[in-house]
Amino acid sequence: MITSRKRRSNFSLTNQTDRVGKKGKSRFGIDTFILVPAGALIAGAKLSECISPEIFPFLAFCGVVFPAALLMFGLGVVLRLFRRDWKGMIWPVLFMFWIQNSVILTIGGWGTYSEVSADSNQISIGTYNVRRMDEYKWLEGDKTRDEIVSWLSENKFDVMCFQELPASMRRKVSNALGTKEIVINKRGSGPAIATSLQIAKYGPWFAPGEDVPRGIFADLIQNGDTVRIFNVHLQSVGLEGDDYEAVREGPDAEQRKRLFSRLSSAYVARATQARALREELDASPHPVILLGDFNDTPVSFALSTLKESDSWPLFDAFSKGGEGLGSTYVGDVSGLRIDYILYSERFELHEFQTYPVELSDHRPVSAVFSY
């Protein structure tokens, strides 16, 4: 009798423990409070690739925080695995499949190169926003300028593209590069292409509604083959000293409103420029390498528009050969990749590099292709 009561008591306690265990597993853990907001930001960034900032400007901002949100999402997944919530892993896994291309754009392809064919042409190319060669002494003026020239003399490519290169520096830069021909706008500063290859044709590219070139193209001949190089500098945010100070110290309500307005306007401008540029690229009679300072993040409407087309796609060199975040912006917001080398399917990538140089507010990048 006593034994029977003990068994019933033990059975009751076991059932209660099972119910508590099941309830405990079904409750929201800290992983949920990480995964849900991080997933929402990532989804917003993903949608920003196909929805113009002209319609929903807020989505464009999600692209800026995509790397941080991705890191937090990964942390949430790890915590959920520790909790052994296998059913709860279904949607994060499916979610990762949805965003995998955006992840590769963000962290690179980790140097997956192919061998160079013996009978193919090979072309090396770089791009560098030199910020007017520091003529306004943002850094150290003449010293910075001399260091940029020294870096150029030590890193030579078949084609070197610049943004914000002063026309007055044309000869000095040409000498540093080995007396390569430089095509540039006649006045002020802007995009320029320096090359030792034969130039068959070149000209400026104007964004809609603008009378100052935002880009320059050149058709280059190499061993009888012609390739088109397109060097562009898309709309910058145009923040001023007070704006950067607000970013560093934390903006108040009025500053937040001004920052949102300026950033939104820049996103919209780049969307318009990207559409017009893509039309120009589609009309090219030659294989294309598009590069320069796009002033936008990898997960963005502008980059998506430039890469995708009904005619033919462009591929991001960093996505195949880069690694890490590949940050090219040197400023208050670290970790941003805003300088790119894109190429059409005629080319095969064999090398990609981001240089740890901080002589401007941008780092130079380069790539080597065969075709």
Same domain, 317 and 214: yes
Predicted local confidence at residue 257, as pLDDT: 86
The burial class, CB within 10 Å (0-12 / 13-18 / 19+), for 131 is buried
Does some domain include residue 75? yes
Average pLDDT along the chain: 90
Q: Same domain, yes or no, for 84 and 138?
A: no
Domain assignment of residue 93, yes or no: yes
82, containing H or E segment: helix 66-83
B/e letters for 15-53, b = 16+ CB within 10 Å, e = fewer, are eeeeeeeeeeeeeebebbebbeebbebbbbbbebbeebb
Q: Which residues pair with 151 in a beta bridge?
A: none
Q: Do 231 and 86 have their domain in common? A: no
Task: Say whether both 280 and 331 belong to one domain.
Answer: yes
- Number of independent structural domains in the chain: 2
How many residues does the structure list for the chain?
371
Sheet holding 348-354, edge to edge: 181-184, 189-195, 159-166, 122-129, 365-370, 348-354
pLDDT score for 6: 46
Q: What's residue 13's pLDDT?
A: 43
Question: Can you list the positions of beta strands (E) in the chain?
Answer: 122-129, 159-166, 181-184, 189-195, 198-205, 215-222, 225-233, 288-293, 314-316, 339-344, 348-354, 365-370
Contact in structure between 187 and 160 (CB atoms under 8 Å): no
Model pLDDT for residues 234-285, shown as the tens digit of each residue: 999 877 767 777 777 778 888 888 888 999 999 999 999 999 999 999 999 9
Q: Is 193 domain-assigned?
A: yes
pLDDT digits over 293-320, tens only?
Answer: 999 999 999 999 999 999 999 999 999 9
Structural domain range at position 148: 122-370
Residue 89 domain-assigned?
A: yes
DSSP letters for 6-17? HHHHHHHHHHHH
- If asked whether residues 147 and 18 sit together in one domain, one would say no
* 28 phi and psi angles, rounded to 5 deg: -70, 130
CA 66, 72, 76, 77 dihedral sign is positive
Higher pLDDT: 23 or 263? It is 263
- The reply to whether 113 falls in a domain is no
Q: Do 18 and 101 lie in a common domain?
A: yes
Q: Residue 102 burial by CB count (10 A; 0-12/13-18/19+): exposed, middle or buried?
A: buried
Sheet hosting strand 288-293, strand order edge to edge: 198-205, 215-222, 225-233, 288-293, 339-344, 314-316
Domain identity same for 339 and 195:
yes
Among 107, 133, 152, give the residue marking a domain's end: 107
Residue 99 has phi, psi (to 5 degrees) of -100, 10
Q: Look at residue 27 in the predicted model and tell me its pLDDT.
A: 59
Pairing of strands 189-195, 198-205: unpaired
CATH number at residue 229: 3.60.10.10
Tell me, yes or no, whether 117 lies in a domain: no
Does the pLDDT value for residue 54 go beyond 90? yes
Do 314 and 361 share a domain, yes or no?
yes
Q: Please say which residue of 51, 73, 107 terminates a domain.
A: 107
Is the C-alpha dihedral spanning 53, 57, 59, 64 positive or negative? Answer: positive
Measured distance CA(69)–CA(80) in Å, rounded? 16
- Asked if 155 and 283 sit in the same domain, the reply is yes
How much of the chain, in percent, has pLDDT values that exceed 90? 78
Helix (H) or strand (E) run with residue 158 in it:
none
Asked if residue 112 is part of any domain, the answer here is no
- CA dist list (Å): 132 to 138, 195, 245, 332: 10, 20, 23, 20
Arithmetic mean of pLDDT, 345-366 = 96
From 99-103, 110-114, 116-120, 139-143, the region with the lowest mean pLDDT: 110-114
Whether 22 shows a pLDDT value over 70: the answer reads no
Domain-terminating residue out of 107, 140, 162: 107
Please check whether residue 192 lies inside any domain of the structure.
Answer: yes
Same domain, 135 and 89: no
Whether residues 22 and 151 fall in one domain: no
User: Residue 172 phi/psi, 5° resolution?
Assistant: -60, -45
* Whether residue 242 is found in the same domain as residue 297: yes
pLDDT surpassing 90 at residue 194: yes
What HEC string does 194-254 produce? EECCEEEEEEEECCCCCCCCCEEEEEEEECCEEEEEEEEECCCCCCCHHHHHHHHHCCCHH
Is the sign of the CA dihedral 24, 28, 32, 33 positive or negative?
negative
